[in-house]
A and B are shown apart, each in its own frame.
Chain A
């Protein structure tokens, strides 16, 4: 009797583990199947075609792909130095008594739903952008800044965790040799935690590129490659969020799935690079 239950439990657990694999494979398969009509119609030209005209049944993904890449890139340029600054502050500068509360606050902020960042962007930040740059305040730059603020706590928290893996004894040895804090950070902490820090930043990039709700409100949703950073634009998630329920033709629907497939492949690659290339070491060290 025990043997049967024992085998049954193991099989059930194994099946659950398999389920994760099945879901991932199913996502790829279903996205591909649904995108197939669009892939057959437009081929790879979809990636470079700038025209998105649902009424003419012409769909080009270039503006959305461009918007995704540029907004994420800008957000990373803004957020990375600040996140590293916060991580340095939390690991090397702050008083012991400040480390935990500020660190916890940052982790809490990372848990705030991204739609709340989006709402703040729409009602408080976009008006500021309108004042500074004119236009309606919605656009690529606004989206990139809101995205950078949204990704900041996550990035700072995991970068800090990477820096914290540096053994105390190494740092203390350097201090004993007369190193300043910056010497320790630059010559001990960063070399030691380099792979972890880069991995953390790429992981944050993976999060940012698939982020929908923080940017949907403030991007403008215009299918054009913007001439200026402050012009309205769109991105893959924004297009999906705004148009998925409106797709009234098979080709329209299929083109949206084509975009979803592209996004999934991009984020899959980015996360895989972060996890397997940079974060492998820090994991096995655990």
Chain B
């Protein structure tokens, strides 16, 4: 009896200790990000473009705009495709072999190494053109996005009660109208959350951009050119020997981290509100 209690106490202590150790490390990283980033952030960041080291007028404007364009275009491609594919699985394919096969494939794609997707897109969209370009970066991000959106759409549409669909059919509505006007409306909060989480996920990706959109020290909105991004700028600046570049790297990390966490919090709030 006593032995059992002692083992119980020991295991519970070990679990608690491991939870504390894990949390300490994780909060250490968050703290580093917050304090380093906060020091490095100033209005200059948003006014000037990345400049050679030692220059006073140096910021991240080009990288921020580039990142927004890359993620925006990727969302424009990835979200509709992901939602349509998810709709097919939930509303047409259901439990058919084909639908389940696509679900499996999509799950595998969701965890595929992002750098390999970058290499793939390089071979398809960069090498034939002969130069790095923003389209390739967006395409790589979109490829990562589709499985995430597909999965949540599939799951969320599945939660919509069948009776709602049947009621609409009984009124004579064709299937596409039932989906567009009834099913989507019922699953709206869940789909929006899934979409937001997928945006947060791809916004933090560096590896697929390294050899697709590459980097650019100049301001550009032309997707046919190499396009700067916060993540690739972080990669280049953090490994540089220059103090001011490293600080800019932390500023980029802070902006990116805040964006990703912010979008996550909004996404969760939407689902919670719906539930509550």
Those of A1-38 within 8 Å (CB) of chain B: 2-3, 5-6, 8-10, 12-21, 23-24, 26-27, 30-31, 33-34
A210, CB-defined interface residue at 8 Å: yes
Q: Are A268 and B108 in contact (CB under 8 A)?
A: yes
Please, which residues of chain B bring their CB within 8 A of the CB of A83? 22
Residue among B113, B176, B256 facing the most chain A CB atoms (10 A cut-off) = B113
Given contacts A89-B18, A120-B29, A113 and B231 within 8 Å (CB-CB): yes
Q: Are B111 and A185 in contact (CB under 8 A)?
A: no
With CB as the reference atom, state the residue of chain B lying closest to A89: B19
Please, which residues of chain A bring their CB within 8 A of the CB of B33? 112, 116, 120
Please, which residues of chain A bring their CB within 8 A of the CB of B105? 20-21, 24
Q: Are A275 and B108 in contact (CB under 8 A)?
A: yes
Interface of A is mostly: helix
A198, CB-defined interface residue at 8 Å: no
Q: In the bound complex, what is the Cα–Cα distance between A38 and B264 (angstroms)? A: 43
Binds A, one of B6-14, B43-51, B58-66, B185-193: B6-14
Q: Are A17 and B113 in contact (CB under 8 A)?
A: no
Which range contains the number of B residues in contact with the other chain? 35 or more
Binds A, one of B120-128, B163-171, B216-224: B120-128
Q: Are B119 and A241 in contact (CB under 8 A)?
A: no
Give per-residue flags for B5-33: 1 if the beta carbon is below 8 A from chain A beta carbons, else 0. Answer: 10110011011111101110110111011
Residue among B88, B118, B177 facing the most chain A CB atoms (10 A cut-off) = B88
Those of A194-224 within 8 Å (CB) of chain B: 203, 206-207, 209-213, 216-217
Q: Within the complex, which residue of A16, A21, A210 is in contact with B116, where a contact is CB–CB below 8 Å?
A: A210
Please, which residues of chain B bring their CB within 8 A of the CB of A112? 29-30, 33, 204, 257, 260-261
A188, CB-defined interface residue at 8 Å: no
Q: Are A260 and B115 in contact (CB under 8 A)?
A: yes
Binds B, one of A42-50, A166-174, A175-183: A175-183
Binds B, one of A51-59, A103-111, A129-137: A103-111
Q: Within the complex, which residue of A84, A183, A210, A237 is in contact with B8, where a contact is CB–CB below 8 Å?
A: A183
Given contacts A13-B88, A113-B206, A182-B7, A20 and B174 within 8 Å (CB-CB): no
Q: Are A108 and B261 in contact (CB under 8 A)?
A: yes
Q: Within the complex, which residue of A118, A156, A185, A256 is in contact with B119, where a contact is CB–CB below 8 Å?
A: A256
Q: How far is the CB of A209 from chain B (nearest CB, A)?
A: 7
Interface of B is mostly: helix
Please, which residues of chain B bring their CB within 8 A of the CB of A115? 204, 206, 231, 234-235, 253
A117, CB-defined interface residue at 8 Å: yes
Q: In the bound complex, what is the Cα–Cα distance between A203 and B116 (angstroms)? A: 17
Give per-residue flags for B205-248: 1 if the beta carbon is below 8 A from chain A beta carbons, else 0. Answer: 11100110010000000000000000100110011000000100
Please, which residues of chain A bring their CB within 8 A of the CB of B118? 240
B200, CB-defined interface residue at 8 Å: yes
Give per-residue flags for B240-270: 1 if the beta carbon is below 8 A from chain A beta carbons, else 0. Answer: 0000001001100100110011001100100
Q: Are B19 and A90 in contact (CB under 8 A)?
A: yes
Q: Are A10 and B175 in contact (CB under 8 A)?
A: yes
A191, CB-defined interface residue at 8 Å: no
Please, which residues of chain B bring their CB within 8 A of the CB of A16? 80-82, 84-85, 88
Please give the number of chain A residues whose Cβ is less than 8 angstroms from any Cβ of chain B in the complex: 91
Q: Are A237 and B115 in contact (CB under 8 A)?
A: yes
Please, which residues of chain A bring their CB within 8 A of the CB of B201? 111
Q: In the bound complex, what is the Cα–Cα distance between A118 and B4 (angstroms)? A: 43
Given contacts A113-B260, A213-B235, A271-B108, A9 and B176 within 8 Å (CB-CB): yes
With CB as the reference atom, state the residue of chain A lying closest to B207: A212
Give per-residue flags for A249-281: 1 if the beta carbon is below 8 A from chain B beta carbons, else 0. Answer: 000000011001001100110011001100000
Please, which residues of chain A bring their CB within 8 A of the CB of B23? 86, 102, 105
A114, CB-defined interface residue at 8 Å: yes
Please, which residues of chain A bring their CB within 8 A of the CB of B265? 108
Q: Are A185 and B11 in contact (CB under 8 A)?
A: yes
Q: In the bound complex, what is the Cα–Cα distance between A115 and B114 (angstroms)? A: 13
Please, which residues of chain B bring their CB within 8 A of the CB of A3? 174
B182, CB-defined interface residue at 8 Å: no
A149, CB-defined interface residue at 8 Å: yes
B93, CB-defined interface residue at 8 Å: yes
Please, which residues of chain A bring their CB within 8 A of the CB of B88? 10, 13-14, 16-17
With CB as the reference atom, state the residue of chain A lying closest to B249: A119
Q: How far is the CB of A14 from chain B (nearest CB, A)?
A: 5
Give 29 pairs: A residue, B residue, CB < 8 Å, sorted on A: A9-B179, A13-B91, A21-B102, A30-B124, A82-B19, A85-B22, A89-B19, A105-B26, A109-B26, A109-B30, A111-B197, A113-B231, A113-B256, A116-B253, A118-B238, A123-B32, A149-B29, A152-B26, A181-B8, A183-B4, A183-B8, A206-B111, A210-B114, A212-B114, A237-B113, A241-B207, A264-B112, A272-B108, A276-B104
Q: 19 extra interchain contacts, Cβ-Cβ under 8 A, other than A6-B176, A24-B105, A120-B33?
A: A9-B179, A17-B85, A23-B146, A31-B119, A31-B120, A86-B18, A88-B11, A109-B26, A122-B239, A124-B32, A182-B8, A182-B12, A206-B111, A210-B112, A210-B114, A211-B113, A244-B119, A260-B120, A267-B113
